[in-house]
């Protein structure tokens, strides 16, 4: 685990690309979820009590996890040093910015989104690693 958290010898441009891709994905998810909630200007009286909110929250969790997984997988596959989980975990920090400002004041769902992005990035990085050779 210590190898995954170390930034020594890491390709900084690949890390910046992973952070920016996660930031782009999270902003896109926020815009799409806002468009779904506020469909064509027909906003309900109280958005917090609509019956679709739990489904939208589950969709947001899935979107953040899968987007971070994809970015971690791509960054890990393109990295020459084979340290995909490092790029996935630290690349997930890019998705934190919209989550911190938009969803963290909502309570537990914001914390779950942060955890799901980090776990998605780590999972994508693990999937990008080459399997060990058994001779």
- Which of 9-12's residues contact partners 24+ apart within 8 Å by CB, and which partners? 9/81, 10/81, 10/83, 10/86, 10/87, 11/79, 11/80, 11/81
pLDDT tens string 38-61: 765 555 565 555 677 778 788 888
pTM of structure: 0.81
**What is the radius of gyration, based on Cα positions, of the chain?**
17
pLDDT in tens, 75-130: 888 888 878 888 888 888 888 888 888 877 777 888 888 889 989 998 998 888 87
CA atoms within 13 A on the CB side of 119: 10
């Amino acid at each position: 685990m210590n190898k995954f958290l170390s930034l020594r010898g890491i390709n900084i441009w690949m890390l910046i690309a992973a952070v920016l891709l996660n930031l782009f994905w999270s902003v896109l998810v926020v815009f799409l979820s806002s468009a779904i909630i506020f469909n064509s200007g027909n906003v309900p009286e109280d958005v917090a009590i609509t019956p679709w909110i739990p489904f939208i929250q589950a969709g947001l969790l899935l979107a953040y996890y899968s987007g971070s997984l994809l970015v971690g997988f791509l960054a890990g596959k393109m990295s020459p040093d084979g340290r995909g989980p490092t790029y996935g975990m630290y690349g997930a920090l890019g998705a934190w910015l919209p989550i911190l400002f938009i969803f963290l004041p909502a309570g537990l769902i914001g914390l779950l989104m942060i955890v799901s992005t980090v776990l998605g990035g780590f999972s994508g990085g693990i999937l990008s690693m080459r399997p060990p050779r058994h001779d």
